[in-house]
Structures are given as C-alpha cells and as structure tokens.
Amino acid sequence: MVQEFPHVSVSLRQPAALDWLDHATESNSIMSAILAVIHPELYDAGRNTFKELRKHSEIEPQEILHRWTSVYSGISVICNRLTPAHRDVSARKQWYDMLVSVGRYRNCNLKLPGLGVSLEYGPGSVVGVLAAMLEHQVSHFEGERVCYVYFMRDVVHEWAGVTGRSWMSIDRYPVA
C-alpha cells in the first residue's frame, strides 16, 4: 500500500500565511530551542521530520515548508477561549506540546487536575506539557488572551520514518 504524502494545511495556503510565517520566525525558533533543552531527542525527531518533508517535491507548496522554522509540525491559535479539561490524543504520550500564553489578561491558571496542580499562567508564560498524558485546562481568565499551542503529529513522523519514541530522562543532563 502506497502511503499518501502529508499535506500542508489549507490555512497556510492563504496569502497572509507567508507574512505570518515570516513574522513568527523568531518565536517559532525560540520554542524549538526550548524543546532542544527540555527534550533533545524530540527536538531532533522534529528537525529530522522536516528534513525528510523538504526532500519531497510532491508535498506542496514547498515554499511553506522552507519558511517553517519550527520543529513542531503544527501550531494552533486559541483566542479568548476557555479550555475544558482534556488530553490531546493525536500525539505520543512522551511528547511535549508547548503552550505559549500572551495578551492583556489576569487571574489565569493552567490546571493539571490529575496531578492536583494549578500553575499561574500569566502573559508570557511558556509551558511544556505532556498533553497526551496529562489532562489540562484553563477555566477562567479576565481580559484578552491568546494561546499558541505548538504540537507534533504522530502520523507525520510515521510517514517520515522518524521515531522520537523515548521519554525524557534526567540522565541526559550530566551532573557537575
């Protein structure tokens, strides 16, 4: 059975999308760099997946793949929304999603109900979370808030033949 090539999102094919990609270059690179610190193998898996995607001219438009500066295969933008407790089931359990919260808002917490944890989640917060494993939610805030969710899709990695299956371990950081 021939496996179909992954598709570039229709929303990225809009004229304003290339401008957005150009303006998001630095932010996307910073989120990738944070992942390189908190889970180096996952960072490498994301980087290697995009190297593989860029080798295939059948995946169009290639211009978008060449402007994409994140090792994450997707970004969702959530504007002024509450998120009920949920897990993101489209990723592997050992993969970190990166949640970036910005805006002019206050009184916001990121809750991890299964752990009994509530984190202050103010403007400028960046949280790496095992989103497929840990239930998470934002049930209240006051003001204007945008959350950028950086994520990887298992099917894209599988198509590219890139594993990235291991868990992050403290053993990867040498103790001085």
Inter-CA distances, 49 with 24, 74, 104, 154, Å: 20, 12, 35, 11
Supply the pTM of this predicted model.
0.88
Using omega within 30 degrees of 0 as the cis cutoff, is the peptide bond preceding 61 cis?
A: yes
Does 68 have pLDDT greater than 80? yes
Average pLDDT over residues 122-139: 95
Average pLDDT over residues 15-24: 85
The pLDDT value given to residue 21: 86
Does 175 have pLDDT greater than 80? no
Mean of pLDDT over the chain: 88
Average pLDDT over residues 65-94: 91
Does 31 have pLDDT greater than 50? yes
Please report the DSSP string for the chain in residue order: -PPPPP---GGGGSHHHHHHHHHTHHHHHHHHHHHHHH-HHHHHHHHHHHHHHHT-TTSS-HHHHHH---SSSEEEEEES--EEEE--TTS-TTPPEEEEEEEEEES-EEEEGGGTEEEE--TTEEEEE-TTTS-EEE---EEEEEEEEEE--HHHHHHHT----PPP-GGGS---
The pLDDT value given to residue 63: 79
- For a pLDDT cut of 70, what percent of the chain falls above it? 93
Specify the higher pLDDT residue, 107 or 157: 107
The pLDDT value given to residue 136: 97
Closest CA to 152 of 79, 47, 62: 47
Does 174 have pLDDT greater than 70? no
The pLDDT value given to residue 2: 40
Topology of domain 75-150 in CATH is: Jelly Rolls (2.60.120)
